[in-house]
Structure 1
Amino acid sequence: MSKARLNLEQAAIACQNLSRSFTDAGRRVDVLRDVSLAIQPGETAAILGASGSGKSTLLHLLGGLDRPSEGEVWVDGQAMHKLADAERGRLRNRAIGFVYQFHHLLPEFTALENVAMPLLVRRESVTPSRDAARRVLEQVGLGHRLEHKPGELSGGERQRAAVARALVTRPRCVLADEPTGNLDSRTGEQVADLMLQLNAEYGTALVMVTHDRELAARMGTIHELEDGVLKV
């Protein structure tokens, strides 16, 4: 695919000819091979595939948590491979929100403090950061749980707080890795509903890794990985 066709500079997040390989016991293992895709602002997309297909590796590369063996990743019009580590970290904090299967909330902090954390990391003032965190927690239905720590929240509430944390910076793109995989089916459906609702409200691109075809079918586009290769 050509760079112009992919619209790398206009996409919320994109990659071109992306590959990732590792060496295991002296043998090269190709986890991803020549993957190209572009997700536009406001678009919802599923990365669908069986366990071991490379979908989490792709998400980590898109989010700048790992470096590709070959190819390019673009976030909000910037080429990640051209940025120094500190610049890449700032871009990740500003433009990408992450939601994982396990919430990764800090147990010693309240829901409000956890959600405000990404804003504080970028050195924003405490009061505006807490106010922004409060607003988004109210949006996800946790306005009455602001001062509760993760251990005092249900599984669904913890995942809602994780969604709030991903959105508090108003990112260009949210990357979600099996965000409903650790929840019962009813709670998982509620969290998926919430993410799609907030995607529509915020205009943020949403890329969701999943092995669940029913969940994938709710996304605007489906990109299916098989043995590290994007099916067409």
Structure 2
Amino acid sequence: MNSQISQPVIACQNLYKTYQGLDVSVLNGIDLSVNTGEQVAIVGASGSGKSTLLHLLGGLDIPSSGDVQILDQNLAKLSEAKKGDLRNQCLGFVYQFHHLLPEFTALENVAMPLLIRRIGREQALTTASEMLEKVGLKHRLEHMPGELSGGERQRAALARAMVTSPQCILADEPTGNLDRHTAHAVFDLLLEMNQTQHVSLVVVTHDLELAAKMQRRYKLIDGQLVTL
């Protein structure tokens, strides 16, 4: 693992983002590098730009200026199709809302990213089943999202993010809709996956107690990252 540390999984340099109609930059010259297996927490006030930064790092939005690299590939130089392929191969996303498809079972939801990769259905379902077992949902494979608790839905969403063996998970308020006990359980599961799968974590959260569990912590203030 140490031999891989030298290459950042995700990096950005001098990143700016301004939305039309706003007089100030939401992000104002962000520099950040995330190496293999690192844990990075980003906190900040509502509207400070935390989610915007995460979307830029994941190639889901385009910066006003500055560069984002995923495994040394500059996103600005890639077509939308190539960016989509890179996201599917290298990144996993977890959001405040689980975004599970209600008409599919937990197993089918988790298998979906593999099916998008054109992996055979049987293999995709087997891999998805194994990942659901790792997050403690072996007994919920055939349940629909509406039949799962809030914590179970987030575990399923985490399994879906992890099923492709990504090199980095980008999580946007992944425990924001959960009660305190469940939030800590889901967050600890994220950290466990970080350790066992050597996946990097970049987590946006408003919860300072949860952020304190991470190796590196930043606060987004006036469009700048300040080390905590």
Pick the TM interval, shorter chain.
over 0.9
Residue matched to 2:16:
19
Residue matched to 2:108:
113
Residue matched to 2:195:
200
Q: What is the 5 A alignment of 1:100-139?
A: 100-139=95-134
d(CA) in 2 for partners of 1:152 and 1:14? 39
d(CA) in 2 for partners of 1:114 and 1:135? 13
CA contact (8 A) 1:44 1:221 kept: yes
Q: How far off is 1:9 after superposition?
A: 8.1
Q: How far off is 1:53 after superposition?
A: 1.0
Residue matched to 2:181:
186
* Aligned with 1:227 (options 222, 225, 228): 222
Unpaired segments ≥5 residues, structure 1: 1-7
Q: How far off is 1:20 after superposition?
A: 0.5
d(CA) in 1 for partners of 2:41 and 2:20? 29
Q: How far off is 1:39 after superposition?
A: 0.6
CA contact (8 A) 2:132 2:156 kept: yes
d(CA) in 2 for partners of 1:113 and 1:53? 36
Q: How far off is 1:28 after superposition?
A: 3.2
CA contact (8 A) 1:15 1:35 kept: yes
Residue matched to 2:74:
79
* Aligned with 1:92 (options 69, 87, 95): 87
Tell me the alpha carbon deviations over residues 27-74 of structure 1, each in whole angstroms, 9 at most, x when there is no partner.
Answer: 534111100010111011101111111110000000111000101111
Unpaired segments ≥5 residues, structure 2: none
Residue matched to 1:3:
none
Q: TM-score, with normalisation over the residues of structure 2?
A: 0.95
Q: How far off is 1:168 after superposition?
A: 0.2
CA contact (8 A) 2:6 2:35 kept: no
**Residues 1:10 and 2:7 are matched in the alignment:** yes
Residue matched to 1:4:
none
CA contact (8 A) 1:9 1:78 kept: no
d(CA) in 2 for partners of 1:89 and 1:29? 30
d(CA) in 1 for partners of 2:118 and 2:23? 42
Give secondary structure in 1 for the equivalent of 2:141: coil
Q: TM-score, with normalisation over the residues of structure 1?
A: 0.94
d(CA) in 2 for partners of 1:72 and 1:9? 19
CA contact (8 A) 2:15 2:63 kept: yes
Question: Which contiguous aligned blocks of 4+ residues in structure 1 show a shift greater than 3 angstroms?
Answer: none
* Aligned with 1:160 (options 131, 150, 155): 155
Give secondary structure in 2 for the equivalent of 1:131: helix
What is the number of equivalent residue pairs in this alignment? Answer: 223
d(CA) in 2 for partners of 1:207 and 1:15? 13
d(CA) in 2 for partners of 1:195 and 1:28? 37
**Residues 1:42 and 2:33 are matched in the alignment:** no
CA contact (8 A) 1:13 1:38 kept: yes
